Structure 1
Amino acid sequence: GGMDIPLIRKFACGYKQGVKAVNGDAEVFENMTGTTGAAWNDPVKGGELAKSQFDRGADVVYHAAGGTGIGVLQAAADAGKLGIGVDSNQNALHPGSVLSSMLKRVDIAVYEAFKDAQNDTWSSGFEVLGLKEGGVDWALDDNNADLVNDKMKAAVEEATQKIVSGEIVVHDYMSDESCPF
């Protein structure tokens, strides 16, 4: 993670829940880059933390660290390991080394806000757009297609459907910071 704040802890908790759903015995390492705004723009530190995780046996490192994540993905490529990008499609930064990227579908949020304004139904406030609303997704393109097989795609689709239907409940870190995973 970048700056150690609840939102980034929420990312980490969701990632851990997903890892443990696939392999309950998996060990998940977790680091935060810092506690100030500088934590978002320190690719050297991001690379050092990722290298440390790879040295401890990590197969893949997921960053939620802004510009710091550039160093995480570089370290993964340098080590012949995998990284996971965040917010936008970062697969092209290191083709063949970025397993996927977690997409924050800001386009969907903006479209919905404009549509509400056009229909005179817009109101201020806070709204979360999750999988069900199309607010988050994962990136699959030519840069990572060889890393993601049909079995993996099917597992992602199955998990997505179970989350959307409520069969799988994603832990709400913002309501309970215990993160039981």
Structure 2
Amino acid sequence: MKKKRLMAAISAIAVATTMFMGCGSSNNSAKSGDSATKENYNVSMVTDTGGVNDQSFNQSSWEGLQQLSKDVKDKNVKVSYLESKQESDYATNLDKAADSGCKLIWGVGYAMADALTNAAKKNPDVNYAIIDNSYGKDTLSNVTGVMFKAEESSFMVGYIAGKTTKTGKVGFVGGQTSAVIDEFEYGYKAGAQYAAKELGKTIEVQSQYAQSYNDAAKGKAIANSMFSKGCDIVFHAAGGTGVGVIEAAKEANKFAIGVDRDQAYLAPKNVLTSALKNVNVAVENLSKDAMSGKKIGGQTFTYGLKEGAVGIPEKNDNLDKKVYDDTMKIQDEIKAGKITPPASKDSYEKFVKDLK
């Protein structure tokens, strides 16, 4: 009798042990049936000073990682972010991400280019990628640059502004002076001048920089000044600072043009359109490539209209249908290479000269 009880106890312990080992192998075992073979893959991103809820490209980048975690089924994907309150946080946050075991770390914004390079040198076994920066021939083998042809979508919204303005004056508010924001400014200005030529009129474009991506109050003040000087449409490429531009347009009952995302939800009656830069698409796709073992380091990927990474949203109630349809024709001409929007001051000046 004692022997039977002993054998029953041993059997119960064995079953319990097997059940424990099975649960411990994966927290997704009930769903996948083969989860024990899944590889863990951690991806993190470090924001610039605009923060993850900037209604702009930091937020779009995070949405790309969130979508990644939903779409990838063959790996246990964990995504996370670290917010930078000031530029001195970049190096610290990049180190934290590496120390946490991340296999791919995204730096959002050209401002952390130096910090990311230093981090990549210290951690050669970790892959890094950066939005809005190219290191060219100096790109490290474990670093990927990602650039966007923002001048293409900016040209389109500039054309819309030029065809829509009733005062003949439109504005541009930039975040910080840089080659990246030049793409937005000069693409926008060129689009407005292209429209001016079609209409046979003069259009003035006022420009000002806030020198910040997270100062909504300053963005609002700049936009208010432009509205008081006769502008009836203001385009921003200023991250969180641009939220203030949209607030100013709402209060003045004028139009703002959003950036990076379709920002119409911030002021449905006062956002004319937005210059889209689908950072989320690039972040998700390149992360998938890295996870699948593809070599993405040591090079720069550039996304534009042809890749579906920039453009404008579908027409909203604020935008005239004919203007929208004309802009779609402009989009086709850019894709076909018939129009090459300028991305710098020099190329803009040549573009305007050639228009005359």
TM-score normalised by structure 2 residue count: 0.46
State how far apart, in whole Å, the 2-side matches of 1:28 and 1:148 are: 20
- Name the residue aligned to 1:103: 276
Q: Is 1:133 aligned to 2:317, yes or no? A: no
Asked whether the equivalents of residues 276 and 310 of structure 2 are also in contact (C-alpha less than 8 Å), the reply is: yes
Q: Which amino acid aligns with 1:88?
A: R
> Which protein is richer in helix relative to its size?
2
Q: Is 1:179 aligned to 2:329, yes or no? A: no
- After TM superposition, the structure 1 = structure 2 runs for residues 52-71 of structure 1, keeping only pairs within 5 Å, are 52-71=225-244
- Report how many aligned residue pairs link the two structures: 172
- After TM superposition, the structure 1 = structure 2 runs for residues 105-120 of structure 1, keeping only pairs within 5 Å, are 105-114=278-287, 116-117=289-290
Deviations 1:127-168 (A, max 9, x none): 110111111121236xxx211222022111101000000000
Q: Percent of aligned pairs with the same residue?
A: 37
- After TM superposition, the structure 1 = structure 2 runs for residues 80-99 of structure 1, keeping only pairs within 5 Å, are 80-99=253-272
State how far apart, in whole Å, the 2-side matches of 1:14 and 1:50 are: 19
- Name the residue aligned to 1:26: 203
State how far apart, in whole Å, the 1-side matches of 2:229 and 2:329 are: 31
Q: Which amino acid aligns with 2:340?
A: V
Q: Which amino acid aligns with 1:29?
A: Q
Give the C-alpha shift of residue 108 in structure 1: 2.6
TM-score normalised by structure 1 residue count: 0.86
Asked whether the equivalents of residues 184 and 343 of structure 2 are also in contact (C-alpha less than 8 Å), the reply is: no
State how far apart, in whole Å, the 2-side matches of 1:110 and 1:59 are: 35
Give the C-alpha shift of residue 116 in structure 1: 3.9
Q: Is the partner of 1:179 in helix, strand or coil? A: helix
Give the C-alpha shift of residue 67 in structure 1: 0.8
Q: Which amino acid aligns with 1:87?
A: D
State how far apart, in whole Å, the 2-side matches of 1:90 and 1:22 are: 23
Q: Which structure: larger Rg?
A: 2
- Name the residue aligned to 1:42: 215
Deviates more, 1:113-122 or 1:89-98: 113-122
- Name the residue aligned to 2:336: 165
Q: 1:152 aligns with which of 295, 298, 323?
A: 323
> Which protein is richer in strand relative to its size?
2
Root-mean-square deviation (CA, aligned residues, Å) is 1.9
State how far apart, in whole Å, the 2-side matches of 1:41 and 1:114 are: 27
State how far apart, in whole Å, the 1-side matches of 2:189 and 2:300 are: 26
Deviations 1:54-77 (A, max 9, x none): 111112000001111111001111
Deviates more, 1:58-67 or 1:16-25: 16-25
Give the C-alpha shift of residue 114 in structure 1: 4.5
Q: Is the partner of 1:29 in helix, strand or coil? A: strand
State how far apart, in whole Å, the 2-side matches of 1:27 and 1:104 are: 25
State how far apart, in whole Å, the 2-side matches of 1:65 and 1:45 are: 11
Q: Is 1:6 aligned to 2:171, yes or no? A: no
State how far apart, in whole Å, the 1-side matches of 2:215 and 2:317 are: 30
Asked whether the equivalents of residues 88 and 102 of structure 1 are also in contact (C-alpha less than 8 Å), the reply is: yes
Deviates more, 1:62-71 or 1:109-118: 109-118
